[in-house]
Structure 1
Amino acid sequence: MSAQQSQGIQTLLEAEKAAAKIVQEARQYRVQKLKDARTEAAKEIEEYKKAREGEFKKFEASHAGSTSEAETAIDKETEVKLKVITESYNKGSDEVVQKLLARVTQVKPELHRNLRKAQS
């Protein structure tokens, strides 16, 4: 009976080794599948990025012209406004200086209203 038991034990050990080998192969297969999935996902992400970047560059190119046109229009408008302001300044500066001088040199000596009330 001991030969039969030792052969049974030997069979169990061999079955256990075979099962461990199968489990190890399954783990390796799972790890490989995960690596493949990550690689494929990275490729898809990169393709999506390139597509979106291309769309953005097209959008940017189509709107860049309108931006420079807007800048040109704003610059022209600013120049016109500056000319108007400069002309207005040149026309009225002498008159303003004269009015200021007239007010500054026109002195009426009189008591402050609070002082007048106190004296009354």
Structure 2
Amino acid sequence: MIITHATVKETSLSRQSLLAVFGMHTQRWRDGQRIKVFVLASDQPLHRKFATEVLGTYPYQLDRIWQRLVYSGTGRAPHICTSEDDMRMKVRNTPGAIGYVGSVMEEDTHVITVE
């Protein structure tokens, strides 16, 4: 499930749009608010599932995209969370944030659907 901070107005995104967000190509929401991307480490099962099933790519491909942005000086890698609970807390407390969780909990107030 894709979760965002309560200030994010989007309710759904296409897979292509999600890939652009998590690939760090789209940097602002439609309202101009800066996007802050949170992910789990590439070796985490939920990250692998998210990358393959939701984004339609492999974790190593995302890693390459992020490394290229960092090493070329043209962008930043996403913030890496230590656990799902850590991701929930950071997304909940960071305006413009987006992340993903295995299942939605009551405090995950803003969920994005995938078109």
* Structure ranking higher in strand proportion: 2
Structure richer in helix, relative to its length: 1
If the TM-score is normalised by the length of the shorter chain, which range does it land in?
under 0.3
TM-score for both structures, normalised by structure 1:
0.15
In our comparison, the structure showing a higher alpha carbon Rg is 1
Q: Which has the higher contact order (CA 8 A, sep 6+)?
A: 2
